[in-house]
Amino acid sequence: MIGHAARLFLGCVFLLAGVLKVINPDELAREMTGYGIIGARVSAVAAPLLIAIEITLGVALLVASRMRVTAAVASILLLVFLGAKIYSFARGNTDPCGCFGTYLQTSPGWGIAIDTGFLASGLLTLWGLGRRGDIGGRLRSMAVATVAFLSLGLAVASPHLPIDRFVTRLAVGRSLLDLGLQGKVPGEGRRLVALLDLTDPGAAAIAARLDAIAGEPRAARVVAITPSSEEDKAAFQWQANPGFAVEHVDFALLNPPGQRPLYRRLPRYFLVAGDRVVAIYDDAPPAASDLISSEAS
Amino acid sequence: MRVRLAAPLAFALVVVPAAIPSQARAGELLCKANYDYSIEVNGTYPQGACFYQGDARGKWFIDIPSNKDGLLMDLTERKIFAVPRGRVAPAGDGELKVQDDLPPGSTAYAFSVEGPIIQFQADDSKIRILPVLQRPPITGSTTIAEIEADRPEYREGMKIYTPDPKSMAVIGKYPKQVEIEAYFATWCPHCKIYMPKLLRVLKDAKNPRIKLDLVGVPRNFTQASGPWSDKNLTSVPTIVVKVEGREITRMGAREGAVPEEELAGILQAVK
C-alpha cells in the first residue's frame, strides 16, 4: 500500500515536472548550463531528452508499468538531480531551482530539500513494492513507449509552437511596468520594441530589417532590448551599426523567477503606444509600411 | 489641372519642410557621453578621456584631452577622422557639438574591430575603445575618491543617483559603530549598476561612525588570494554589514535594489 502510494505520488511529481518544463525547454537548457557541469550545446540537446524522460517516467509510474525498474530509474535520476544541485550550490550558484520549469521556482536550498524528499519517495516505492513490481504488460509498455516518443517530439517542437500568448506575460494591453520594462523603452509615441539575442548569428540580418523601419521617419521608433552582455552589445554595435537604440536589460528582470517569462525564445517584437502593448509580432518584425498604415488608421 | 498642381504642392508642403531641419543640422553632430566604454591610449587610461555617441547613425566622438585633435569615428565609412579642436564646442550637460562637415583631405585613420573592441593607430598612439567591464580591474583595497578619479562609469553613476532622504536620515544619524566591507568588481555588470548607488549613499551619509572598507576583486577571486580571501564570497558585489564588530548580514545586488533602504532597514533592526 505504502509502495503504491509513493509510486503514484512520484508519478505525479515527474509528470508535473515534465509538463511544466515542456512549455519552455530553452529555459531548462539555460538552467542546466547554469549548474556549471555541462556546456550550452550539450544542454540544448539534453533538455528535451530530460523532459521526455520525466514525462515518460511519470506516466510509467502512474500506469504501473515495470514498476521496480521505473522506480529504480526515477530514484537514480533524482540522485543525479540532487548531486548536481549540491555541486552547483557549493560553487556559489544561488539561482532558483527550475525543478518544475520557470513557473514553480524555489531557492537552491529548498530545491535540495524537495529533491531529498522525492528521492525518499523513490526509495519507498522500491521498498514498498518488494518483488511485485517486476510484472510488465505489453500494452502498458507500448503505451509508455508511445508517450516517450510523443513527449520527445513535443519537447523538440515546443519552442516553435504558437503558445507564447498563453505562457509568457507579454500580451496586448499590458503596460511596460507589468513587463518590467519601465524606463527601458524611451519615448512616448509608438515604439517597436525588439527583444533580441545579440549573439544570434541572424542578429545582423534582423538589425537590417529593423533599420528599414528606423529609417522610415513616419514609422514607429525602434528600440532593441537585449539580455546579452555588454560585451556582446558592443560587438553588435560595431559590426551591425544599427540605426536604432539598443538597451541592455538583465535576464533576471526580463524573466523574473516565479513569474511568467517575457519570452521563451528570441527574437520577439511588440508595438507600444504610450506605455501599453498594442500589437505583438512573434515571427518577424512588421514591414515599415505596415507600421505607417496602422498609424494612419 | 488641379490634380497636376496638387502633387507638386503636396511635395512642397510635406517633403521640403521635412528636409529643411536635416539640412540645417547637417555638419553639426550633438554628442552625448557614453560611459559604457573606456579609451585606452598606449596601454593607459587617460583621465578625462571620454567616448561620445553622436546623434547621427554610426558616429562616435573620441575626446582625449592630451591629443591635438578630437577623433570622429564613422562606422558607415569605416574611418576615424581627426577633428580640429576649433570644431568642437561644449553643448551643456556634458554634451559636445562637433562640426563634422570636414573638408576633403582631412586626416583619417583606419580602424579594426575585434569583437567588442575597436582599435586603431593615430600618429604615434595606439588607441583602443573597449567596454569598461574589460578594463584591467581594480584589485585590493581602494577608496571612493580613487574610484571616482579612475572610473568614469562609477563617478557618473554616483552623480546621477538620488538616495531616498528618509533612509539617508536613518543612516546619517545611526549612533553605533558600523563597518561596511564592500567587495566589488569593476568587471561585474551588476556592480556597475549597484556600487555607484551604494558609494553615493555612504559618501552623502557623512556619518563618522560608519567605516567603509572597499575592496576590488579580480575575476578569479574564488581562487586568487587577497583581502577577499576567507570571507566566504560566492558572488560580487557582497556587502558585509558589521555593527559594533559583529557581522549582522550581507547585502548584494539584485535588480532594482535600493541600497540606502536596505541598509537603513538593517541598521534600524539593530538599534
B119 to chain A: nearest residue by CA?
A238
- Domain of B243, CATH number, reads 3.40.30.10
Q: How many domains does chain B have?
A: 2
Same domain, B146 and B264: yes
Q: How far is B233 from chain A (nearest CA, A)?
A: 8
Check pLDDT > 80 for residue B256. Answer: no
Residue numbers in A near B188 (CB within 8 A): none
Burial class (CB in 10 A: 0-12, 13-18, 19+), B250: middle
Task: Give a yes or no: residue B2 inside a domain.
Answer: no
pTM: 0.79
Output the nine-digit C-alpha cell for A22.
Answer: 515542456
Compute the distance between CA of residue A103 and CA of residue B180 in angstroms, rounded to an integer. Answer: 37
- pLDDT (mean) for B64-69: 92
Q: Which pLDDT tens digit goes with each residue over A102-128? A: 666 677 777 888 888 888 888 888 887
Same domain, B103 and B40: yes
Compute the distance between CA of residue B109 and CA of residue A251 in angstroms, rounded to an integer. Answer: 38
Same domain, B117 and B185: no
B73 to chain A: nearest residue by CA?
A238
Residue numbers in B near A241 (CB within 8 A): 57-58, 75-76
Chain A contact for B56 (CB, 8 A cutoff): no
Terminal-residue alpha carbon distance, chain B: 87
Which residue among B57, B131, B235 places its CB closest to the CB of A230?
A: B131
Chain A contact for B235 (CB, 8 A cutoff): yes
Task: Give a yes or no: residue B126 inside a domain.
Answer: yes
Q: How many residues does chain B have?
A: 271
Among A50, A49, A71, which Cα is nearest to A60's? A71
Q: How far is A93 from chain B (nearest CA, A)?
A: 8
Same domain, B157 and B248: yes
Q: Inter-chain contact A231–B134, Cβ cutoff 8 Å?
A: yes
Chain B, 86-105: which have a CB under 8 Å from a chain A CB? none
Residues of chain A predicted below pLDDT 50: 295-297
Same domain, B144 and B237: yes
Task: Give a yes or no: residue B174 inside a domain.
Answer: yes
Q: Which pLDDT tens digit goes with each residue over B120-141? A: 999 889 999 999 999 999 999 9
Handedness of CA A255, A259, A260, A262 (dihedral sign): negative
Task: Give a yes or no: residue B1 inside a domain.
Answer: no
Same domain, B89 and B149: no
A247 to chain B: nearest residue by CA?
B36
Q: How far is B115 from chain A (nearest CA, A)?
A: 5
Q: Which pLDDT tens digit goes with each residue over B176-234? A: 999 999 999 999 999 999 999 999 999 999 999 999 999 999 998 988 899 999 888 88
Residue numbers in A near B118 (CB within 8 A): 238
Of the residues A182, A238, A251, the best mutation for testing chain B's interface (the one with the most B CB atoms within 10 Å of its CB) is: A238
Chain A contact for B123 (CB, 8 A cutoff): no
Q: Which CATH number fits domain A166-296: 3.30.70.1140, 3.40.30.10, 3.40.190.10, 3.30.9.10?
A: 3.40.30.10
- In sequence order, the 6+-apart residues with CB closer than 8 A to the CB of A141 are A65, A66
Domain end point (choices B69, B104, B132): B132
- Report ipTM for this prediction: 0.81
- In Å, the largest CA–CA distance within chain A is 75
Same domain, B241 and B149: yes
Task: Give a yes or no: residue B31 inside a domain.
Answer: yes
Q: How far is A92 from chain B (nearest CA, A)?
A: 5
Same domain, B190 and B120: no
Chain A contact for B48 (CB, 8 A cutoff): no
Domain end point (choices B132, B162, B191): B132
Q: Which pLDDT tens digit goes with each residue over B137-153? A: 999 999 999 999 999 99
Phi, psi of A5, rounded to the nearest 5 degrees: -60, -45
For chain A, which residues make up each domain, given as ranges? Answer: 2-161, 166-296
Same domain, B110 and B217: no
Q: Inter-chain contact B76–A239, Cβ cutoff 8 Å?
A: no
Q: How high is the pLDDT of residue B12?
A: 40
DSSP A28: H
Among B30, B28, B80, B70, which Cα is nearest to B48's? B70
Enclosing domain of residue B13: 7-132
Look at phi and psi of residue B170 and say left if phi exceeds 0, alpha if psi is from -120 to 50, else beta: alpha
Contact yes or no for A265/A26 (Cβ under 8 A): yes
The H-assigned helical ranges of chain A are: 2-22, 25-34, 40-63, 67-90, 108-129, 138-157, 164-167, 203-214, 230-240, 251-254, 288-296
Quick one: how far is CA A237 from the chain centroid?
Answer: 27
Q: How far is B254 from chain A (nearest CA, A)?
A: 9
Same domain, B86 and B162: no
Q: How high is the pLDDT of residue B177?
A: 96
Same domain, B25 and B92: yes
Same domain, B15 and B43: yes
Q: How high is the pLDDT of residue B26?
A: 56
